[in-house]
Chains A and B, each alone.
Chain A
Amino acid sequence: MFYRQAGDFKTTYRDDIQTFPLKQDRWGYYIVLAIAFLVVPFFINDYWTSAVMLPFLIYAIAALGLNILTGYCGQVSLGTGGFLAVGAYGCYKIMTSFPDLNIFVVVLLSGLITAAVGMLFGIPSLRIKGFYLAVATLAAQFFLVWLFNKVPWFYNNSASGQISSPERSMFGYAITGPNADAPVRYLFCLTLLVMLAWVARNLTRGRLGRSWMAIRDMDIAAEIIGVNPLRSKLSAFAVSSFFIGVAGALFFSVYLGAVEVGEAFGINQSFLVLFMIIIGGLGSIFGSFVGAAFLVLVPVLLKNIMVNWLGWPTDIAVHIEFMVIGGLIIVFLIAEPHGLAQLWRLAKDKFLLWPFPH
């Protein structure tokens, strides 16, 4: 009744193929964007930025990246943690080697470096598929972490092997370092996320995305109709790694400020991002967002309810949090194996017909 297609006429092909064909969806999208850019920055403080928004935005970028590779191109990857580390260490090396370079450029360059590394580790995907590819990318994960731990050049020979991000600013506002203000850091990550999500959405709607999906659905058939598997798979690895590299650079420079590769970019990160896209929805841009939101926000929410409201001991709260999140994951996946994005889609379809379902 309120959410409907009726009366929303399309008179051109352009209108017909737009990202949000429904007027209400389109307006919803504009309103969310306007709130995110124009309202939130005025109310956000250090806690909200560091504990809630930055992890959400950055994991959303990483989930988008992995979703391109796994969800759209069907190549399972367990190397996300390693690629995040490439982004972070690339960012650190560029930041310290070229102190005058704009931080925005640094982050994009770290993404490019990661894209190159990702393509290198994507080469085996031409021969192996499925679980075997997962194992090959797992090797990338362990190799990269080992590399950044082993070779002192990557951490500029610091005694502890930690990398710390120096202060860099844009338009006179500090983006990284301890003096960066909460709204500035938030806006910086948000801008990158919106840009990258826009790119991802349009890539997946275009020729490249269609070739990825063809490879995912049936690679032999795709090859027969003229999709080049080499180009499709490697481009998926490159684009995916670019996103993950940007996420890694932000994770290190804007969010944490100092990282240690074994702890920050271990195998847990690979699984976390993979769970995000599985829970959110494979092959869905929106799914990357909800997946990241679910796994970042729910733990914080549960912790605040149990510790700050109910005053429970912190250790019990943590254990219950594990159980609740594990339980929720199972419940959601049983209710809808295609993820939260599919639930959302079904709900919208129901609403389109409400109150007169047929």
Chain B
Amino acid sequence: MNPLKIVGVALIATLASTAAMADLVFPSLSYRTGAYGANGIPFADGYADYFTLVNERDGGIGGVAAKVIECETGYNTQKGVECYESTKGESPLIYQPLSTGITYQLIPKVTADGIPMHTMGYGRTSAKNGQVFSNVFNYPANYWDGASHAINHILGENGGDIKDKNVALVYHNSAYGKEPIRTLTELSAKHGFKLTEVPVDHPGQEQKSQWLQIRRTRPDYVLMWGWGVMNQVAIQEAVNIGYPMENFIGIWWSGSENDVIPAGPKANGYKALTFHAVGSDFPVFDDIKKHVVDAGKAAGAGDQVGTVLYNRGMYAAMLAVEAAKTAQEIHGTKDINAGQMRDGMEALVMDAAKMESLGMAGFGPEFTVDCKNHGGPGLGAMQQWDAGAGEWKLISDFEASDMDIIQPLIDEDSNAFAEESKIEVRECA
């Protein structure tokens, strides 16, 4: 065989993806590189470590080993599609792309392929309507809940009257950053505050003009929908113009250690939303330390345990594992497939007893998922950065969002999608 032929054969063999295994497969479309890597790494580590924990401690999910296949997307939709197609052949149970852009790509694809997708706290908000989006789940909370939580917090600080207030929204100029605008517009009409939109283009390393605008107009509150390097830059700029940090509120994706530490002690008081607890004061972390970190099986560098985004990745993995267990119970088989996993997600019940048994009592809100509501109750809390102690602290309970505003928007948007894509609205029992 001549060298050309050898190269050709090698080409074909390597371009083709590899064959399937008998484990329960959980692809992790992660990103550890690029402008969003600082945020993608802890999430991916947490996601992988929880599955390692389940395998090491419990011997898998119901006795079947879980296998995580990692695929680097770089937060890029083109690579996201490639990752989806390359892992699809290994009978994956669930996709969690951690990117609103990739979510929009995958919604039609996963629906056609019958694979469920969980977009926890991101993605298309109207996917909460399970009658239209059969395979997409976004429990326990979504962006529109987040927007409402932020406004509720501002209302609480001002005794319920924010008629004369100015609120600026600094957002990533993409599908992700634009999601809350519709809700905030409705809320501003309801409560009478003035909303200013300040877009920041990808990747957001340069925000001088945006913060000059904020410095000039001095809004009473600044909300932020940022991700990746944009968060760090925005918080640093806010510090530079001397903006009062306690009036600066980020969505849950703009509230990790990586975002505030670069700005130093002056970032003290910065607030961000969250839908799960902070810190590593839960029994599950002892297990992770014992079975994963000390055993040398931690993903990545193993130094992220207990950070906000690590916890979130772990929480996402935990919900996936619980849904898989539910699916195993419903269908009476250990070796579930993607369709059965979907049923498990739709029947998921997260109550206090279950959380406690997992060593995560009070880690997240209690909720149930059903056929109609794929989004859970939408509870969220506020956390605040304590620069002195170097940690996030919860400063509120998990509270409800303004569903009077959000539900009509969800119905409108999901029905528009159903009509556009000619989806038949499912009947729910």
Contacts and interface: CB of A to CB of B under 8 A. Distances in A.
B420 interface: yes
Given A160-B124, A260-B77, A47 B89 contact: yes
Nearest to B421: A166
A8 interface: no
B112 A301 contact: no
B413 interface: yes
A143 to B, nearest CB: 13
A309 B14 contact: yes
Contact of B77 (A96, A161, A179, A259): A259
Interface string B1-32: 00000000001001111100000000000101
Tell me whether chain A's interface is mostly helix, strand or loop, or mixed: helix
B16 A48 contact: yes
A161 B174 contact: yes
A263 B174 contact: yes
B350 interface: no
Contacts of A305: 14
B100 interface: yes
A268 to B, nearest CB: 9
Contact of B85 (A51, A264, A318): A51
Given A47-B88, A314-B30, A318-B33, A164 B108 contact: yes
A165 B37 CA distance: 29
A62 to B, nearest CB: 14
Contacts of B81: 50-51, 255-256
B182 interface: yes
A298 to B, nearest CB: 10
- Interface residue range, chain B: 35 or more
Contacts of A102: none
Interface string B171-202: 00111101101100000000000000001011
B174 A47 contact: no
Given A48-B15, A178-B109, 11 more contacts: A149-B173, A160-B176, A161-B178, A255-B81, A258-B105, A260-B77, A262-B201, A264-B77, A315-B33, A315-B72, A319-B33
Interface of B: 11, 14-18, 30, 32-33, 37, 41, 70-72, 74, 76-78, 81-82, 84-86, 88-89, 100-101, 104-105, 107-109, 111-113, 124-126, 173-176, 178-179, 181-182, 199, 201-202, 300, 413, 420-422
**Shortest Cβ-Cβ A-B pairs, 9 listed:** A315-B32, A178-B112, A160-B175, A178-B108, A314-B72, A51-B82, A47-B85, A50-B85, A304-B14
